[in-house]
């Protein structure tokens, strides 16, 4: 019995152990089940009930709306040659919040960027609360890859575009330039910024923790690339004008200059050059003063270039004919407290002679015949005192006072180019109007744009004035250096003192404005050279050669037929006669050893050769 009692105790212990193990397993199973149910419930709540909140939180960490970069439209000259193009570059940017989490990497980043650590640290610290900041803009893609290769957290790259101007300084004032954000700042780039710029696109992407795009989610906005623009400018004529104007400034020790070339029939601007200039490809862009497009923004007194307009006013009023004579002796007439003078006493001059000799006295007597209001309105019809309508940014209107504000000397001085102001473009436009049979067309910088024409002068009188100006470039005129072999050239010189506070300084501007060829004018060109100091100050000597050299090249480039073939043939024959006999021999004949050999080798006698 004792044995039975002793055996019963262990049995109860084992029974309790078995019971406890089973319970514990059950409890664990229940706990795990409850956890699973809780997790499933939580997941269901997160995924189904409160999904928007968590989706938004996830998107803020990995989904980004990024801009789709676009290229700015290309600008070409009239022949399709690129004059402004955009090339892809990279910009390095950072997330300051993320970057400052690893401050120990800043020295490495500073070395990669090539800037002092103190400066980089200061830049980042000042923007610690921002999520975007440019570290380096518009750099070579290879350079950007080297910076990113360091793997600094929070540092990324972005595709952008940088403007490049193949013509450099020669076309800087026409084209202008763009800023760091590729927005037009001056010139054509500013005038047609919206057309050229286009509209960037936008898309949603998923980035990994290193900022790399792992998936494109959605296209938010379609990119609209910038549109191309075809200018009326001919880069060949542009470079000719730039080269010749630069040479003239150097040889005459002048301070600045401008040149404008227009297509007479269409009003298209074929060339526009200013010096000093700047390099639009350079980071600094030079001095601000050099950015000024003097041909459009500078208002200058036109000097004697106004005299053909004065003559046209008197002719249009029926008051004179080209042969009407005026006595300019003794070379001056009173003008209030001052005198209107000529460089010489020309005595008796007809209207053509007044233009040929550039007589101030003659111009004053012509203007005196025309009623004040009529003379004023005539100048206004030619565009003086108003913008040309070119649409170029910053264009000045010039100034011309109405008769009510004239003093006793105003009209007389206006007749030879003082007391009013105009831009070089306005002068070129006025001369193009004469060359176009008296029809004015607003200048344009866009190829193919046709502005409406307005008749401001009868074709007959326009032709008369044109042939008067032709005598200026012929023997006895003031601009024989503007003559072009094979072509009749019409033009007018000008030499005007520069206005200063309280009067006029002792500095001058030298002008030449002309048209070629006379029989069917194709080009109108104006050359203005400011403050020549190397000898002559006269437009016929300083500015006329620039006109001749540029127009010679332009006539060849545009295949304009000569209208003075007789003079050209005569000059060729004269030059041929001056050449040595040996130089006129056919080049295929070997050089003979003796004079006898020469005569034996000669072919049949050539016309004009001495036998």
Residues with a catalytic annotation lie at 304
Determine how many CB atoms are found less than 10 A away from the CB of residue 228. Answer: 15
Residue 311 and residue 465: Cα distance in Å, rounded? Answer: 7
Tokens 């100006």 found at: 469
Strands in 95-153 per DSSP E: 133-139
Gap between the Cα atoms of 258 and 244, Å rounded: 11
Q: How far apart are CA 433 and CA 462, in angstroms?
A: 8
* Residue 565 CB burial class (10 angstroms; 0-12, 13-18, ≥19): exposed
Cα separation of 499 and 492, whole Å?
A: 21
CA 171 – CA 271 distance, rounded (Å): 9
Q: Which two tokens stand for residue 239?
A: 């470079």
Are 139 and 93 spatial neighbours (Cβ–Cβ below 8 Å)? Answer: no
Our CA angle for 234, 240, 243, nearest 5°, is 135
- Joined together, the tokens standing for residue 43 give 């997941």
Among 431, 441, 445, 448, residue whose Cα is nearest residue 392: 445
Q: How far is CA 509 from CA 186, 532, 543, in A?
A: 26, 7, 10
Dihedral of alpha carbons 337, 343, 347, 350, sign: negative
What is the separation of C-alpha 400 from the centre of its chain, rounded to a whole number of angstroms? 28
Structure tokens at 40: 């499933």
- Beginning with the edge strand found earlier in the chain, give each strand of the sheet holding 490-500 in spatial order: 269-275, 256-263, 523-530, 503-516, 490-500
For 385, phi then psi, to 5°, come to: 90, 5
132 alpha carbon, distance to own chain's centre: 34
- Spatial neighbors of 255 by CB under 8 A, at least 6 apart, are 249, 530, 531
Helices (H), 253-318: 294-297, 307-316
* Helices and strands, number each (H, E), in the chain: 22, 19
């Amino acid at each position: 019995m004792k044995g039975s009692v002793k055996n019963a105790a262990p049995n109860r212990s084992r029974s309790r152990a078995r019971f406890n193990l089973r319970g514990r397993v059950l409890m664990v199973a229940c706990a795990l089940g409850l956890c699973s149910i809780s997790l499933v419930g939580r997941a269901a709540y997160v995924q189904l009930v409160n999904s928007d909140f968590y989706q938004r939180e996830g998107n803020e960490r990995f989904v980004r709306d990024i801009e789709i970069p676009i290229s700015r439209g290309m600008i070409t000259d009239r022949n399709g040659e690129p004059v402004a193009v955009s090339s892809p570059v990279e910009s390095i940017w950072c997330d300051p919040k993320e970057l400052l989490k690893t401050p120990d990497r800043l020295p490495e980043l500073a070395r990669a960027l090539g800037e002092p650590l103190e400066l980089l640290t200061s830049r980042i610290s000042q923007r610690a609360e921002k999520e975007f900041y440019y570290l380096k803009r518009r750099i070579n893609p290879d350079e950007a890859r080297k910076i990113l290769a360091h793997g600094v957290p929070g540092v990324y790259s972005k595709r952008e575009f940088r403007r490049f101007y193949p013509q450099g300084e020669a076309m800087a004032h026409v084209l202008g330039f763009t800023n760091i954000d590729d927005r037009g700042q001056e010139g054509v780039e500013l005038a047609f910024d919206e057309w050229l710029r286009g509209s960037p696109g936008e898309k949603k992407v998923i980035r990994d923790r290193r900022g790399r795009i792992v998936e494109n989610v959605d296209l938010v906005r379609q990119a609209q690339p910038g549109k191309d623009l075809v200018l009326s400018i001919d880069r060949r004529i542009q470079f000719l004008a730039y080269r010749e104007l630069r040479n003239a400034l150097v040889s005459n020790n002048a301070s600045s200059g401008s040149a404008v070339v227009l297509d007479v029939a269409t009003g298209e601007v074929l060339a526009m050059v200013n010096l000093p200039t700047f390099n639009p490809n350079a980071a600094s862009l030079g001095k601000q003063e050099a950015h000024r497009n003097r041909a459009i923004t500078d208002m200058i007194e036109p000097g004697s270039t106004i005299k053909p307009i004065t003559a046209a006013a008197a002719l249009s009023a029926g008051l004179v004919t080209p042969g009407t004579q005026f006595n300019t002796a003794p070379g001056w007439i009173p003008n209030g407290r001052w005198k209107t003078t000529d460089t010489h006493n020309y005595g008796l001059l007809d209207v053509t002679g007044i233009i040929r000799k550039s007589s101030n006295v003659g111009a004053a007597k012509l203007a005196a015949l025309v009623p004040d209001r009529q003379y004023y309105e005539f100048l206004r019809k030619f565009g003086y005192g108003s913008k040309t309508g070119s649409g170029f940014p910053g264009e000045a209107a010039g100034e011309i006072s109405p008769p009510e504000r004239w003093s006793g000397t105003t009209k007389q001085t206006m007749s030879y180019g003082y007391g009013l102001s105009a831009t070089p473009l306005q002068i070129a436009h006025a001369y193009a109007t004469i060359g176009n049979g008296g029809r004015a067309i607003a200048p344009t910088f866009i190829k193919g744009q046709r502005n409406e024409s307005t008749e401001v002068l009868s074709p007959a009188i326009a032709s008369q004035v044109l042939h008067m100006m032709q005598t200026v470039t012929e023997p006895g005129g003031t601009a024989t250096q503007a003559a072009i072999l094979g072509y009749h050239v019409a033009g007018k010189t000008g030499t005007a003192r520069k206005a200063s506070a309280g009067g006029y300084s002792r500095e001058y501007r030298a002008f030449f404005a002309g048209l070629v060829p006379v029989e069917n004018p194709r080009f109108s060109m104006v050359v203005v050279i400011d403050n020549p100091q190397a000898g002559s100050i006269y437009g016929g000597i300083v500015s006329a050669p620039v006109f001749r050299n540029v127009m010679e090249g332009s006539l060849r480039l545009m295949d304009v037929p000569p209208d003075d073939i007789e003079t050209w043939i005569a000059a060729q024959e004269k030059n041929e006669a001056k050449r040595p006999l040996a130089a006129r021999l056919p080049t295929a004949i070997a050089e003979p050893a003796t004079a006898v050999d020469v005569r034996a080798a000669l072919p049949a006698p050539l016309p004009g050769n001495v036998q």
